[in-house]
Structure 1
Amino acid sequence: MNGRGAGFKRWMGHLLCLSLAVVVLSGCAESGSTAGEGASGPEQLRVTATIGMIADAAREIGGDAAKVTGLMGPGVDPHLYKASQGDIRKLEEADIILYGGLHLEGKMTDILEKMGEGRTVKAVTDDIPEERLRKSGDGVYDPHVWFDVGLWMIAAETIRDTLIEYDPSRKAEYEERAESYLKQLEELDRYAAEQIASIPEAGRVLVTAHDAFGYFGAAYGIEVVGLQGISTASEYGAKDVADLRDMLVQRQIKAVFVESSVPKKSIEAVLEGARRQGHEVRIGGELFSDAMGSEGTEEGTYIGMVRHNVDTIVQALR
């Protein structure tokens, strides 16, 4: 073979090798990991939520796609909560931070808002129409929106939309799980309305340690009276105790309720005052207000917590 033929053969050999390399690299690109994915598929979203109710909704909607961490466990009062160094680390490691808003988290609010400058931070109450929010006498919005299941459905949709915005690749998954969860909430809303309506109208008075159940009362037609204001950070005094005591005696209220996240001593002082005036008032049961029950129990989920509260109230007042 002359030199020209040998050169042509070498050139064809190089071209064949280059073609094979392109095919191999293309195959690796198709079968290998993409940005944000592990060997077995997309990585879990890291979601940190402040209170249990938000964490539970995020788990329902996120499913296996989200690893949800809650900061405040059973019996924890978010109004008085102070973030620890461990909490700050959980917040800093999160892809998404979900919180209540409307100053529910008290002193933590400034930390959460500052973190929003560098990551996805969302208040789940942001999309609730202002006209549907309750205001206290001093013009502060009531943050306990989860006690109106209809409003909590809006919060759930906000959680869904936040997950989709951050992780659009799993949009269909989040939408499907959210649709299923919202149907469960619709059933819960009907259940609460039907059960509270079964209490004789004159006896539909819910007396608790602090004014956490205003949305519940407005949604399901029961009068709500709290010893303290919307936030447990507000102090109650002798006059507050005396006023509530007198109301119990005058209206012959038979039962009041304690809360899992509020010390019982506040309500016990009222009961003792009524007893001295010859009116015996019993504790109708423990309600979950600012925190859910223990993990692994029915009350450790939002739906289970609301059902527990409804059933406890109905059994005591009906």
Structure 2
Amino acid sequence: MKKYILLVALLTIAGCKNKSNKDTNGKLKVVTTTTMITDMVQNIGGDVVEIQGLMGSGVDPHLYKASEGDVSKLFNADLVIYGGLHLEGKLVEIFEKMESQGKKTVAVADAIDKSELISSEFFASNYDPHIWFNIGFWKKITLHTTEILKEQDPEHANIFEKNGAAYIQKLDALETEIRQIIETLPADKRILVTAHDAFNYFGNAYGFEVMGLQGISTATEAGVQDVQELSNFIIEKKIKAIFVESSVPRRTIEALQSSVNSKGHDVIIGGSLYSDALGNKGTAEGTYVGMFLYNVNTIVNALK
């Protein structure tokens, strides 16, 4: 019922809000979904863009539901930037309604060729949406977003171009640093076991075998058989650490740890990784660069 009311609200607001709001304060109004996207757009847009992020630290985008306040933000925006590939599963209908009403919405996943994506029979879009864990993809997305902002606000195109280039340099430096850190971990120890399959792009890009207890979407639940199969894998591979995630309840990994330990193999929880959201605003982990460095250091230190 609530979903129906929201969609009706969308149609009502859309009929009244078809012109740009930029002239109210001279800034392009952009609404973003996940914290990773918000951070990227802030780096590109700087002070000339007004950004509102819907999701905060620790929020799971797979399960996120729009509030009436969110609907108002979306339809007062000049531009909406979201992940795509059904990452924000419960917002898909809203984005589709907005597009049909002439609102500019952009899925950052459109910057990546489908041939480079990881397909999955277990996820609605048939593609893994966790594309931010490949820094090379994030560079393409940064370039794509820079062009979108330039199109929407040509007056500040030079600023977007300059800021986007500076952010790409940060990402280049990040990739160099994390590869150096990973090189300190022997290849046979590069097996990452987490709460759900958020790290497959990371594994492909940086040489890790990745196993998740839940599926690609946290909307799925791990069963007893999943726990047993993964615990046997951990014992077979002599894995010493597994990881929880900031946006997924600890109980799933704790159940896995208990199963492994009950079979005589000691496995620790090596730390909490940021998967579907950044850390708290104002901290190093509250930025994409800081989050990535934190995750890699946590993984490598625990698996050594």
Q: Does the Cα contact within 8 Å between 2:109 and 2:141 map onto a contact in 1?
A: yes
> What's 1:131 paired with?
115
Runs of 4+ in 1 over 4 A off after TM superposition: 35-38
SS at structure 2 position matched to 1:125: helix
How many residues are paired up? 281
CA contact (8 A) 1:144 1:215 kept: yes
Q: Classify the secondary structure of the residue corresponding to 1:136.
A: coil
Structure 1, residues 165-221: CA drift from partner, whole Å, max 9, x if none? 111111111000000001111111122222112211111100000000000000000
Partner SS, residue 56 of structure 2: coil
Indicate yes or no: 2:90 matched with 1:98: no
- 1:267 and 2:253 are equivalent in the alignment: yes
Cα distance in 2, alignment partners of residues 215 and 194 from structure 1: 18
Q: Counterpart of 2:103?
A: 119
Deviation string 1:12-65 (CA, Å, 9 cap, x unpaired) is xxxxxxxxxxxxxxxxxxxxxxx9557xxx711111100000000000000011
Greater Cα radius of gyration, structure 1 or 2? 1
The residue that corresponds to 1:63 in the other structure is 46
The 2-side partners of 1:166 and 1:280 are apart by: 55
Q: 2:18 maps to what in 1?
A: none
- Counterpart among 153, 164, 173 of residue 178 in structure 1: 164
Q: Identify the residue that residue 220 of structure 1 maps to in structure 2.
A: 206
Q: State the alpha-carbon separation in 1 of the partners of residues 175 and 98 from structure 2.
A: 34
Are the equivalent residues in 1 in contact too, given 2:122–2:215 (CA < 8 A)? Answer: no
Greater displacement, 158-167 / 289-298: 158-167
Contact in 2 for aligned 1:75/1:292 (Cα 8 Å): yes
Match in the other structure for 1:286: 272
* Structure 1 contact 197–220 (Cα < 8 Å) conserved: no
- Residue number in structure 1 paired with 2:9: none
Identity %: 49
- State the 1:116 CA deviation: 1.8
Partner amino acid, structure 2, of 1:125? A
Q: What is the correspondence of 1:16-55 to structure 2 with a 5 Å cutoff?
A: 43-55=26-38
| Alignment gaps of 5+ in structure 1 | 1-34
* TM-score (norm. length: structure 2): 0.90
Within the candidate set 154, 157, 165, 2:143 is matched to 157
Q: 1:167 to 1:249 in 2, by over 3 A?
A: same
Q: CA deviation at 1:88?
A: 0.8
Q: Does 1:110 align with 2:93?
A: yes
How far does residue 137 in structure 1 lie from its aligned partner after superposition?
3.5
Give the residue type in structure 1 aligned to 2:255.
A
CA RMSD of aligned residues (A): 1.4
Structure 2 unaligned runs (5+)? 1-20
Q: Aligned-pair distance for 1:92?
A: 1.1
What is the aligned partner in structure 2 of residue 10 from structure 1? none
C-alpha distance in 2, partners of 1:191/1:132?
24
Length-normalised TM-score, structure 1:
0.86
> Does the 8 Å contact 1:99/1:123 carry over to 2?
yes
